Structure 1
Amino acid sequence: MLRSILLGLAAGSRAMTPLAAVANAARTGTLPRDSAAPDLLAHPLVSAGTTALAVYELIGDKQHSAPDRIITPAVVIRTLNAAFAGAMVAPRRHRWAGAAAAGATAAVASYISWRIRMKSMERNSQEATGFIEDALVVPAAIAAATAR
């Protein structure tokens, strides 16, 4: 369940990163053996597509026109992406619990990470705070997706 929660924390900051990490882990065969991931997730096009969306989000986050992560559609997308990713890394018999844990964590983490980011931006640029956030979130999502 810890992997699911960690993916939820990552989704609170970057909605697509957990899904991309899970798809890439499925493609490379590094997901836990008893995961609930479907074969489709391991398809190279799915892996490439989710990675492209995650990279786009990493770039877009640094733009001044980027919407806040706490607007309702953003929180819903983060919650659903995290729930799916959290279910995929949970053991098959606990996939619903993994989905619930990741989704709930993502919803709460969206608000907490937004508050921290806004506080940090009082002293630092949007770009600098975004890169720091990326440096924490991306490796955490990859570790959660590939942990054995």
Structure 2
Amino acid sequence: MLYKDIHIGQFIKERVTDKEITMERICNFLGKDEDFIEKVYTSKSIDTDLLLRWSKLLEYDFFRLYSSHLILYSPPAAVNKNEAQKTEKVPYFRKNIYTQEIKDFIINKILSGEMTHSEIIQEYLIPKSTLHRWLQKIRRNNDK
């Protein structure tokens, strides 16, 4: 799965179908009518408070889709990160969240020969030790 173009309504609709949740339950949980729910399914983006409620109802972290997008497609960070961290009022997260899909995507690029280790490290800013740990785990699983 590529995270470049996220259509959140489609992801929500797929999850509703997978979980087999009735329209009545959705409407009651969200306090909305069926027309509103259908509009969500066709929306490319929705309000974050509403997305949080969908995440709870469907037991799925839809925000990870956006985190994955940031990890894969955000521009390189500024050189002087430490200074910016001291002045920010929003929480700072020390580690990136790498979903299994992101790991598979990156490992696939290496195994297919599309990119080298150093290209992955430079392009996606994944620490060398993290990348090597992923590859070791793949090798161990293949040896079994």
Q: Is the structural similarity TM-score above 0.5?
A: no
Q: Return the TM-score normalized by structure 2.
A: 0.28
Q: Return the TM-score normalized by structure 1.
A: 0.27
Highest Rg: 1 or 2?
2
Greater fraction helix: 1
